[in-house]
Amino acid sequence: MSRVLKKRLRAVGLWLLTFLLLVVICVPGLWVVLSAFRPNREILAKPPIWIPEELTLGNFAKIFGFGQEQVAIPVLSYFWNSLVIATTSTLIALIIGMAGGYAFARFRFRFKNAWFLGLMLFRTVPGIALSLPVFMLWSRLGIIDTQLGLIIVYVSLNVPFTIWLIDGFFRQIPMSLSEAAQVDGCTRWQAFWKIEFPLARSGIAAAGVFAFLTSWNEFALASQLTRSTDSKTLPVGLMDFTSQFTIDWAGMSAMAVIIIVPALILTFLVQKHLIAGLTFGGVKG
Amino acid sequence: MAGIMLEGVVKRYGKTEVVHGIDLEIAHNEFVVLVGPSGCGKSTTLRMIAGLEDISDGDIRIGDRVVNDLPPRKRNVSMVFQNYALYPHMDVRANLGFGLKIAGQSKDVVERRVQEAAEILGLSELLDRIPAELSGGQRQRVAMGRAIVRHPEAFLFDEPLSNLDAKLRVQMRTEIKKLHNTVRTTVVYVTHDQVEAMTLADRIVVMRDGYIEQVGRPMDVFNHPVNTFVASFIGSPPMNLLPARIEGARVVFEDGASVPVPERLTNFVADGQEVIFGIRPDDLSPIGHGIHEARETTEIDLEVELAELLGTETLIYTTLAGQEIQGKMFDPRDIRPGERLTFRLSLDKAHVFDAGTGQSVRPH
């Protein structure tokens, strides 16, 4: 066999492998998206219908309460809960993360390493392991089935991560930049907002996206701590499509798409800020 | 008028004292260089003047104000950092104008002063670039430009040239000197490079371990070092320092070789005193190859171990009393290792330090 042929075969093999891997990763997602636009009978058809014969927005109309066929699921409430809880908890986690990250990166204080290690260890505990104590505590406090209850849980879930990530970004910014700004006439506060914050912005944005996605997608704890439309989030709401004897796959898929889309949009919006490397060049490498 | 005055300034980190009560008076428009090996407290001293470090004791005055408790922004000084510390997300124009903008100057004033500074430093073409697009020397100039636009009362330089390659360093050194001639302002400049200190300073402050060892004009420090530390730190190659003992009118080295006690020092040494004899390589040359104007000289035979050709002169490594020393041959001819030469030693320029204290036997 000639070398050229060998090389070609190798390339084809690699392509095939890549294709298979991508199929494994993408098909379930694709299937969910496709199912969102197909009627239930086509989804459940045997043998399966791979190429949709009929595309419809009926599933969306159905879960939002339009059209003939209606499902009694308050998707709008769930959406609103998810939005409020994810956004608020992300903002709080970011503010604490910035303050904490800056402190860990810039200041010397007692037990600094122990604090930091403690935060990281806290992150290693699976959230679900804490669900029972949290449930009991929350019920005593009377914040079961409230947005506040979930916000607190998500903030504490995200803060170690945001501190850790933002700390790393502040650490990369040389102290001398802030010092130069202070000699140039800034207060420490001004030096932070005008110099250090813009330079750490990509890191803060990244921390924000991750925190938002964690809160937005979280299911296990939310399913424990929510009951009604007061606080139920979208991932928990998905379970509403499961009843004792049937599962409404079409409605569930439509709702899954509703969950996926905002997360995708956010990631696309922020991704240009995620490109780091802005700090290069200000100081000698 | 803005001189800078340090009175008994102390810096402690916890229980460790790193600057031990230094006194220093810097005149208006004077160019003072703090020089010393790393860890000598020179950068800390500069940062205390800038207000970036608290002072633990003593007073710092800029002009007639005590600035001990003023934050950096209220001291009206500007600083050039070792790593330049340019704001990476701003172009050169914004970097230069940042301080003025913060101070609330109008756009016109900012623009005019930025242009002015850019012109002085040859940055006019680069105003729209960001720091990442500049070379090392250009960044250095932007850092200096940022310092001069604000017309501060003093410039503080923290090892500004140590990140540049050798050639650029020499070039920027001259530019700093020129800059000081153009914008006459008080300058405090920190370096560990004694050549920079010698070439730039009106006055040199030699520091070691948090103490000031000597303050003086460059040539005074060079010609009359107060102790062995200053003697070996200032000057390149460093002064040869040889342990010896005074016996009558002679300085006797450990192997029995000896030279006369320099006439001007005879009244300052005692018979039997243990001393350190210091002679710069420039003042130890083969006969006929240097030392023309010495009043008092002596001769000594030494064997060449290694010769380094430097062009106009040759550096000769040899051994005296079991210790490697260096001499210089001016108008050099070819010499080979192993050759024995008679050296002339200029006693006018020889130094004698007390072996116990390291201080020069002759007070200054």
**Which CATH number do you get for residue A86?**
1.10.3720.10
- Tokens 């200000």 sit on residue: A282
Mean pLDDT, chain A, whole residue set = 87
- Tokens 């009206």 sit on residue: B76
Contact A281 B131 (CB under 8 A): yes
Q: With respect to residue A282, please indicate whether it lies within any of the assigned structural domains.
A: no
Q: Which of A109, A183, A190 to mutate to test the interface with B (most CBs of B within 10 A)?
A: A183
Average pLDDT over residues A157-161: 91
pLDDT at A284: 43
| A279 in reach of chain B (CB within 8 A) | yes
- B240-354: what fold? OB fold (Dihydrolipoamide Acetyltransferase, E2P) (2.40.50)
Residues 6+ apart with CB under 8 A from A111: none
pLDDT bin (cut points 50, 70, 90) of residue A74 is confident
Q: How many domains does the structure of chain A reveal?
A: 2
pLDDT at A203: 86
For chain B, what percent of residues have pLDDT higher than 70?
A: 99
My answer on whether A32 and A94 are in the same domain is no
pLDDT at A274: 65
pLDDT at A277: 40
Q: Chain A: nearest CA to B70, how far in angstroms?
A: 11
Q: How many CB atoms lie within 10 A of CB A98?
A: 23
Domain-wise residue ranges, chain B: 4-233, 240-354
**Distance in angstroms (rounded) separating the CA atoms of residues A197 and A201:** 6
Chain B residue with CA closest to A186: the answer is B73
User: Hey, is A233 helix, strand or coil?
Assistant: coil
Which strands, in side-by-side order, build the sheet including B240-247?
B258-260, B250-253, B240-247, B274-279, B351-354
**Distance in angstroms (rounded) separating the CA atoms of residues B81 and B83:** 5
pLDDT < 70 regions, chain B = 1, 364
- B4-233: what fold? Rossmann fold (3.40.50)
My answer on whether A86 and A21 are in the same domain is no
C-alpha distance from residue A172 to each of A121, A165, A206, B80 (Å): 23, 11, 15, 20
Q: With respect to residue A68, please indicate whether it lies within any of the assigned structural domains.
A: no
My answer on whether A26 and A128 are in the same domain is no
pLDDT at B59: 95
pLDDT bin (cut points 50, 70, 90) of residue A285 is very low
Q: Is the pLDDT of residue A283 over 80?
A: no
My answer on whether A156 and A223 are in the same domain is yes
Long-range residue pairs from B120-124, CB within 8 A, at least 24 positions apart, any chain: B120/B145, B120/B148, B120/B179, B120/B182, B120/B183, B121/B145, B121/B148, B121/B175, B121/B179, B123/B92, B123/B96
pLDDT bin (cut points 50, 70, 90) of residue A49 is confident
Q: With respect to residue A91, please indicate whether it lies within any of the assigned structural domains.
A: yes
Q: With respect to residue A159, please indicate whether it lies within any of the assigned structural domains.
A: yes
What's the pLDDT tens digit per position in A237-274?
A: 888 888 777 788 888 898 999 899 988 888 888 777 66
My answer on whether A47 and A149 are in the same domain is no
Size of interface A-B (CB pairs under 8 A): 91
Q: With respect to residue A29, please indicate whether it lies within any of the assigned structural domains.
A: yes
| A276 in reach of chain B (CB within 8 A) | no
Find the CB nearest A278 among B86, B89, B163.
B89
Domain end marker among A22, A37, A63: A63
My answer on whether A201 and A237 are in the same domain is yes
What's the pLDDT tens digit per position in A100-111?
A: 999 999 988 889
My answer on whether A11 and A103 are in the same domain is no
pLDDT bin (cut points 50, 70, 90) of residue A279 is very low
**Distance in angstroms (rounded) separating the CA atoms of residues B64 and B127:** 36
Cβ distance B168 to B137 under 8 Å?
yes
What's the pLDDT tens digit per position in B35-71?
A: 999 989 999 999 999 999 999 999 999 988 999 999 9
Six-digit token string for B286? 């083969």
Q: Chain A: nearest CA to B148, how far in angstroms?
A: 11
Q: Which of A184, A192, A199, A201 to mutate to test the interface with B (most CBs of B within 10 A)?
A: A184
- C-alpha angle with apex B337: B333 to B342, nearest 5 degrees? 65
Question: Hey, do B4-233 and B240-354 end up sharing a CATH topology, with the first three levels equal?
Answer: no
DSSP B265-308: GGGG--TT-EEEEEE-GGGEEETTSS--S-SSEEEEEEE--EEE
Q: Chain B: nearest CA to A194, how far in angstroms?
A: 10
Tell me which residues of chain B have a C-beta less than 8 Å from any C-beta of chain A. 50-52, 71-73, 75, 77-79, 81-89, 98-99, 102-103, 130-134, 136, 139, 146, 150, 156, 163
Provide ipTM, 2 decimals: 0.84
Q: With respect to residue A149, please indicate whether it lies within any of the assigned structural domains.
A: yes
For chain A, what percent of residues have pLDDT higher than 90?
A: 45
Q: What is the pTM of this model?
A: 0.81
User: Hey, is A276 helix, strand or coil?
Assistant: coil
Six-digit token string for A35? 């199912």
Q: With respect to residue A280, please indicate whether it lies within any of the assigned structural domains.
A: no
pLDDT at A67: 65
pLDDT bin (cut points 50, 70, 90) of residue A62 is confident
Q: Which H or E run includes A8?
A: helix A3-36
My answer on whether A52 and A158 are in the same domain is no
pLDDT bin (cut points 50, 70, 90) of residue A282 is very low
CA atoms within 13 A on the CB side of A258: 25
Domain carrying residue A260: 75-274
Q: With respect to residue A70, please indicate whether it lies within any of the assigned structural domains.
A: no
Contact B102 A186 (CB under 8 A): yes
- Tokens 């993360």 sit on residue: A97
pLDDT bin (cut points 50, 70, 90) of residue A142 is very high
Query: Strand ranges (DSSP E) for A147-269?
Result: none
